[in-house]
Structure 1
Amino acid sequence: MTSLSETVARFPKLDAALMESRLTRPGTGARVIIDTDTANEIDDQYALAWSLLSPERMNLEGVTAVPFSFQHHQEGLIKSVHILENGGPQNEVEEKFMGGLGGWPRRIFDAGLRAEDVKFVTPEEGVELSYQEILTIFNKCGVSADGKVFRGAPDYLTDFDTPIESDSTRFIIEQARKRDDGPVYVLAMGALTNIASALLVAPDIIDNIVVVWTASFPSYAPFCNAPSLNLVQDRLASQLLFECGVPHVYLPGYHVGAQLKISYPEMDQFVKPKGAIGGYLWHLYTNNPLHEMFAITGQETKSWVIWDIINVAWLFEEDYVSTHMTTSPALNDELYWETDPNRHLMLEAYDLNRDAIFEDLYRTLDRAPV
């Protein structure tokens, strides 16, 4: 079985000037692929709608569906709820174990629910749900999806020798090899399986592709990255992204993207009235699938993070997302960052202008067809 270091050795090394050029935010009309787990929750739908209703600001080549699943939490959730049923944690080990799931086990327990009854889709089910949800967003925005939407991998990488070929992987490679048209920017809003598979099949494409990914903690944070769904679902794909030398714009979710919260009153006033897509986004907000899964109640008083619009915001306006040039960290097997100033360059976000981003989104929704 080929190791990560052996795999990375197959990739060409970009010179510093080309890397810096690729990491510069492009102007209007950049070629874009959106790689998205759209049915996972509700944020990808906002990002996709904003993009579809902004044809003058990007050249959207296509949208690729990403697998998703919370199955990696199933065993821990069941065990944690059983601990609560037996009187709560009896020692530091049990307390630490439960802490990894935040307040989820307690909400399940307090609601009188059984952890065994929580539905977890498989990655294969997840990618199909995402594919169908992408089609729904195209329809609600009044945009034709013909030739624009592609099914992705039905599972995650199990090693670096076996990329998962799919319509999405082939499409990413095809677009990245159109060198006369300039680089393609892949706005990655989920697990990296499709992108990693494309890179493993065709390492030569790294000179004409830029991965713009949102996930986890900043590279300087000392925390374990396991809480990040985008990162933890496909650990091998996540490790490959930071190692292979592909130009990468990293948009941390925690503390950066997490600022992109929207409230019930804002949804009611600024989103709900905006045509078919506005009504659908309102429906998603008030029928969030993660509310049921995580046993969250009282939605009217809760805000929700619309994480993935950060990718589109970075592309659209320079002052929406603040970034700095740094070096790519390594992601170790325990999912902690290991930094080294001698590694290849990476552009990383450290802040954003939450109000300006949402105001732009609201203005764009004014274009939505009824």
Structure 2
Amino acid sequence: MEHGGRLRLAEQCRVVVDNDWAGDPDGLVALAHHLLSPTNRVVAVTSSFLNPVFGPLGSTAERGSALARELVDLVGGPSRPPVYTGAEGPFDGTSTSAASAAIVAEARRDDDLPLFLVCAGPLTNVAAALQEAPDITGRLTLVWVGGARAAGAAEYNRDTDPAAAELVLARPELAIRQFPLETYRRCAYSVAELERDLAGSGRVGRWLWTRFLELPLPDWIRLGGVWPLGDSPPVLVTALDDESSTWTEAAGGTRRVYTDVDTRLLFGDMLARLRLHESRQARGGGGTGRDG
């Protein structure tokens, strides 16, 4: 059915999006995709800290919050999700933050739409929320970009806060949709395509491309011709559909580990959302910030 020249799409879920926004800008690309998608309702954005290999701890979660707020404001719309800052260091078993409190509050809120907690960074804020309020475990589904299928493989998100990952993954009653290292690496994007596709996709796209240009890379990182957009696959679970991706199941079907993702669907939709948003803003018809 058409409504005002567009297909009327139904909301599928509520989403809290958690990430270390001050780090790799692929998280901000994924956040823009979530914010622009009419089929998932982003109800909160939470920020986590960066691994110390990128500099001393102290304010990286807060810097990430500032970037996330800037993007939320740029996308615009009347229902802009609030942004909450998480802990500035690893989970210690007792720490709480505005981010973990926001996760608890949203999980306890009654709503007909299911809640997905998307985390594409360390599980610090997730662990703190579950430690503070064990009753929320059955009220949400964690969608995590992290971990690895290969035993002993180094993986950034898990290894940034291994204590948090251990606590979260040890809860068998928690429903999890996991995109491990071997799967999220499939979301390879050439740097040339990234420049063309983001910089050429309106104000939001240009803002995202600028984050790549301004990211302070340590001297030990040698940038080649590829920059993976590994934080994007959860959009397939929340806003699109995972039927064309593949996974294995465990824990009686409550846990999925994705082995392949439909990158054509994922990135085709991302670019279309950016460009539709820009064109509707230019015509003065993009007031919602989310294009149906």
TM over 0.5: yes
Q: Residue deviations 1:10-58, cap 9 Å, x none?
A: xxxxxxxxxxxxxxxxx8430110011111111101100111111x210
> Gaps (5+ residues) in structure 2?
1-9, 283-292
1:325 Cα deviation from its structure 2 partner = 1.2
1:65 CA displacement: 0.8
Bigger shift: residues 233-242 or 135-144: 135-144
Superposition map of 1:35-184 within 5 A? 35-54=18-37, 56-71=38-53, 120-122=55-57, 124-143=58-77, 148-158=82-92, 160=93, 162=94, 164-184=95-115
Inter-partner Cα distance in structure 2 for 1:209 and 1:37: 21
For 1:251, the equivalent position in structure 2 comes to: 179
User: Taking structure 1 as reference, are residues 295 and 35 closer, same or farther at Cα in structure 2, changes over 3 Å only?
Assistant: closer
Q: Give the match for residue 3 of structure 1.
A: none
Q: Secondary structure at the match of 2:41?
A: strand
CA distance in 2, matches of 1:49, 1:287: 18
CA contact (8 A) 1:33 1:61 kept: yes
> Once the 2 structures are TM-superposed, how far is the Cα of residue 175 of structure 1 from its aligned partner?
0.8
Report the equivalent of 1:321: 245
CA contact 1:40–1:68 (8 Å) conserved in 2: yes
Q: Normalising by the residue count of structure 2, what TM-score does the alignment of the two structures yield?
A: 0.84
Q: Which amino acid aligns with 1:251?
A: F
Deviation at 1:60, TM superposition (A): 0.9
5+ unaligned residues in a row in structure 1: which ranges? 1-26, 72-118, 328-342
Separation in 2, partners of 1:142, 1:36: 20
For the pair shown, which has the larger CA radius of gyration, 1 or 2? 1
- State the 1:284 CA deviation: 2.6
- Name 1:306's counterpart in structure 2: 229
Q: Supply the distance in 2 between the matched residues of 1:251 and 1:140 (Cα, whole angstroms).
A: 28
What is the deviation of 1:182? Answer: 4.4
Closer, same or farther: CA 261–357 of 1 in aligned 2, 3 Å: same
Task: Tell whether the 8 Å contact from 1:127 to 1:153 is kept in structure 2 after alignment.
Answer: yes
In the comparison of the two structures, how many residue pairs are matched?
268
The secondary structure found in structure 1 opposite 2:185 is helix
Deviation for aligned residue 1:262: 1.2
Q: Which residue of 2 aligns with 1:224?
A: 152
Shift of 1:155: 1.6
Q: CA deviation at 1:180?
A: 4.2
CA RMSD after TM alignment:
2.2
* Poorly superposed stretches of 4+, deviation over 6 Å: none
1:299-356: CA deviation from partner (whole Å, max 9, x where unpaired) = 6xx11011100111232222353222124xxxxxxxxxxxxxxx98411101112222
Alignment match, 1:215 = 146
Aligned to 2:120: 189
* Percent identity for Structure 1 against Structure 2: 23
Take 1:46 and 1:357, find their aligned partners in 2: how far apart are those partners? 12
One-letter code of the match for 2:228? Answer: V
Summarize the Cα distance change of 1:313–1:233 in structure 2 as closer, same or farther, 3 Å threshold.
Answer: same
